[in-house]
Amino acid sequence: MKRFLILFFCTVLCHLGSPGFATAALIDFSNPLSYSGQPTTGTASASGSTLTLSNNIWTAYAFDSTYTVKADSVLTFTYKSDSIPEIAAIGFDTDRSFDYALDAKNAVKIGGTQGNNWPEFIYSTLYTEGSGFTTYTINLTDFLNIGDAFDYLVFINDDDHVSSAGGDGISTSIFSNVSVSPTPIPGAALLLGTGLLGLIGIKRRLS
């Protein structure tokens, strides 16, 4: 049994280092974090794998551990808006403090009514208001460098123009099934550990 476990451990480690082991991790929306210097007058609500941002708000969610961009890193998400904000975007950050000159290049602008006033954002219009749920898969190396490391995924529903009601704009962005792949190593290591414990349990039952 001991030899088998050693062989199994070595085999899985080889797979962990191979591109074929690129599994995706869904983002957990249960713990929203504030974003320094950015609007929080709107609301963020989550239900399972769906995040809804209303009116004027930026929010961030921490990765389980620092995420490092690899050659095969991919961001996948589904987006919907029937009343799109000035800027709808999703991006990566290290400190929850947004500097347009430095950080906009780490974000994907999905769409918005403001036009391309911030050309540093990657892409300008992916989504047209009222198009229903639309899924996007984006290679992170299209706008990030291999080896770039981030601690947070940022969701933006920026809408600070004055509405007819006298306050910030009225808009909604719905993000769902957001994932990045491959998973950070700690997540893969957890899967490995669980598998090893399972094998040990089976061995004990058979003994």
Residue 156 located in a structural domain: yes
**How many domains does the chain contain in total?**
1
Spatial separation of the C-alpha atoms in residues 82 and 34, rounded to whole Å? 25
Residue 40 located in a structural domain: yes
Residue 59 located in a structural domain: yes
Res. 126: pLDDT tops 60: yes
Give the domain CATH number at 92: 2.60.120
Res. 4: pLDDT tops 80: no
- pLDDT bin (cut points 50, 70, 90) of residue 14 is very low
Spatial separation of the C-alpha atoms in residues 126 and 161, rounded to whole Å? 22
Mean pLDDT, rounded, for 30-39: 77
Please give the residue range of the domain that contains residue 95: 26-189
Residue 11 located in a structural domain: no
Residue 3 located in a structural domain: no
Continuous H helices in 37-157 = 100-103
Spatial separation of the C-alpha atoms in residues 51 and 168, rounded to whole Å? 20
Whole-number pLDDT of residue 94 = 93
Residue 195 located in a structural domain: no
Residue 194 located in a structural domain: no
The pTM of this model reads 0.73
Whole-number pLDDT of residue 178 = 95
Residue 61 located in a structural domain: yes
